[in-house]
């Protein structure tokens, strides 16, 4: 006797596992810690620049709440129904990346046109593009597709983001696409060719921009213009060095008194290092590493190609941003303006990352489905 389609659907649903509770716990810990550190790092700036010491923590708390709702929806949304939405999502991302470049529509801040103000919400299309790209590439790599179309798609997205300009996000999306492309099983020669093209492109973008060229000079010679282009990098190292083994203590950072640029966003790890020392930063890196390891472990256990690609893509996204941010903080790469996931201040980055982690948690529910 054959079971009815309704009964089979019920059985398939019952086969799904619970989302990874370890990742859930660690993500909640990171978000709460991030809200605390945003308050610590932004307290002085908020009081002097805005006149409201609670400004940044209030916004970050609201972003975290919105992100939590998005993560819950993403965790239980039927992933099979997400696949048909991949094309509309990537097209909408490209649309937003185009209109943000239009004067009068996109907001220009510090020489870069990265923000889109829709009246009821203000967000960064490039952050949305990261999430949309992962979903689309997950669908793309679940089938055999021509490599030329892949290059055209990624080049279009990266080209629009560089027109803002935003080299940091370009590196993140390019890395996500390249790693997902490699893990899809393509020959190494194609990956080497892609890496070569990407390296030449990055060098060209650096040479073409005096601002980026100065950052590279600072990387090779930290004493170059210590009160100018090298100031930020030097203050980061001073902040980390001041923490020592156990840190100066919670609330006792000196660099947050407007000595350290971007103290609540890209450089928040330096404040963590100053207040909690080597031990505190080691624990933070350990928590971030556990999430990365568990993400990749679950991806290996998922049989459905699309769902496995979602898990890989989100984990790669999280990993690339963590690695690039931390390497910039300790002087292993030039400063690139990449936020530390779940910790740095910023609504678009926090909400989209939490939705992405929700999709990762959703994918972990399929780890034992045959």
Tens digits of residue pLDDT in 311-327: 999 999 999 999 999 99
- Only one residue has tokens 């209109």, namely 99
Amino acid 1: pLDDT: 44
Q: Is residue 1 part of a domain?
A: no
Burial of 61 (0-12, 13-18, 19+ CB in 10 A): middle
Amino acid 219: pLDDT: 67
> Is-contact 356 18, C-beta < 8 A?
no
The least confident of 96-100, 162-166, 192-196, 346-350 is 192-196
Both tokens of 174, joined, read 């390019």
Amino acid 115: pLDDT: 82
Residue 183 pLDDT > 90: no
Indicate the DSSP class of residue 103.
B
Amino acid 228: pLDDT: 62
Q: How many domains does the chain have?
A: 1
Q: Which residue has the higher pLDDT, 133 or 186?
A: 133
Q: Is residue 369 part of a domain?
A: no
Q: What proportion of the chain, given as a percentage, has pLDDT over 70?
A: 86
Q: What proportion of the chain, given as a percentage, has pLDDT over 90?
A: 46
Residue 117 pLDDT > 80: no
> Is-contact 136 87, C-beta < 8 A?
yes
Residue 206 pLDDT > 80: no
Q: What's the pTM value of the predicted model, to 2 decimals?
A: 0.89
Indicate the DSSP class of residue 84.
G
Q: Is residue 4 part of a domain?
A: no
- What number is the average pLDDT over the span 258-279? 90
Centre a 10 Å sphere on the Cβ of residue 211 and count the other Cβ atoms it contains.
11
- What number is the average pLDDT over the span 13-33? 89
Amino acid 231: pLDDT: 79
Q: Is residue 357 part of a domain?
A: yes
State whether residue 326 is helix, strand or coil: helix
Q: Is residue 287 part of a domain?
A: yes
Categorize the per-residue pLDDT at 106 as very low, low, confident or very high, splitting at 50, 70 and 90: confident
Q: Is residue 115 part of a domain?
A: yes
Q: Which residues contact 100 (CB under 8 A, 6 or more apart)?
A: 106, 113, 114, 115, 116, 125, 164
| CA angle, residues 128, 39, 42, in degrees to nearest 5 | 80
Categorize the per-residue pLDDT at 8 as very low, low, confident or very high, splitting at 50, 70 and 90: very low
Terminus-to-terminus CA distance in the chain, angstroms? 22
Q: Is residue 9 part of a domain?
A: no
**CA-CA distance, 149 to 8, in Å (whole number)?**
38
Amino acid 20: pLDDT: 93
Long-range CB contact pairs, 244-247, < 8 A, 24+: 244/277, 244/278, 245/277, 245/278, 245/279, 246/276, 246/277, 246/278, 246/279, 246/280, 247/273, 247/274, 247/275, 247/276, 247/277, 247/279, 247/280
Q: For the segment 42-91, what is each residue's pLDDT rounded down to a tens digit?
A: 988 888 888 888 999 999 999 999 999 999 999 999 998 999 999 999 99
Centre a 10 Å sphere on the Cβ of residue 295 and count the other Cβ atoms it contains.
25
Long-range CB contact pairs, 199-203, < 8 A, 24+: 202/167, 202/171
- Find the domain containing 298 and state its range: 21-364
Length of the chain: 370
Categorize the per-residue pLDDT at 11 as very low, low, confident or very high, splitting at 50, 70 and 90: very low
Both tokens of 57, joined, read 């923590």
């Amino acid at each position: 006797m054959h079971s009815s389609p309704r009964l089979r659907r019920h059985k398939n649903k019952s086969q799904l596992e619970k989302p990874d509770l370890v990742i859930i716990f660690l993500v909640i810990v990171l978000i709460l810690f991030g809200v605390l550190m945003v308050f610590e790092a932004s307290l002085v700036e908020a009081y002097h620049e805005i006149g409201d010491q609670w400004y940044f923590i209030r916004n970050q708390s609201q972003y975290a709440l919105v992100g939590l709702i998005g993560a819950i929806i993403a965790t239980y949304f039927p992933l099979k129904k997400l696949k048909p939405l991949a094309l509309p999502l990537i097209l909408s991302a490209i649309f937003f990346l185009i209109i943000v470049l239009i004067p009068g529509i996109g907001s220009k801040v510090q020489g870069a046109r990265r923000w889109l103000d829709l009246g009821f919400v203000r967000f960064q299309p490039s952050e949305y593009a990261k999430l949309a790209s992962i979903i689309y590439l997950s669908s793309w790599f679940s089938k055999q597709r021509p490599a030329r179309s892949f290059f055209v798609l990624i080049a279009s997205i990266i080209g629009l983001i560089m027109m803002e300009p935003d080299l940091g996000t370009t590196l993140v999306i390019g890395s996500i696409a390249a790693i997902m492309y490699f893990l899809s099983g393509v020959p190494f020669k194609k990956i080497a060719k892609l890496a070569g093209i990407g390296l030449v492109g990055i060098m060209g973008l650096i040479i073409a921009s005096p601002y980026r060229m100065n950052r590279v000079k600072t990387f090779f010679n930290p004493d170059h213009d210590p009160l100018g282009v090298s100031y930020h990098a030097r203050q980061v190292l001073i902040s980390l060095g001041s923490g020592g083994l156990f840190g100066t203590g919670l609330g006792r950072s000196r660099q947050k008194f407007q000595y350290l640029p971007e103290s609540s966003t890209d450089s928040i790890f330096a404040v963590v290092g100053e207040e909690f020392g080597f031990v505190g930063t080691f624990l933070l890196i350990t928590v971030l590493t556990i999430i990365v390891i568990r993400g990749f472990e679950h991806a290996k256990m998922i049989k459905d190609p699309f769902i496995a690609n979602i898990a890989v893509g989100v984990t790669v996204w999280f990993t690339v941003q963590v690695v690039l941010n931390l390497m910039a903080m300790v002087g292993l790469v030039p400063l690139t303006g990449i936020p530390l996931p779940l910790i740095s201040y910023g609504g678009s980055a926090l909400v989209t990352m939490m939705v992405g982690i929700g999709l990762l948690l959703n994918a972990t529910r399929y780890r034992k489905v045959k």
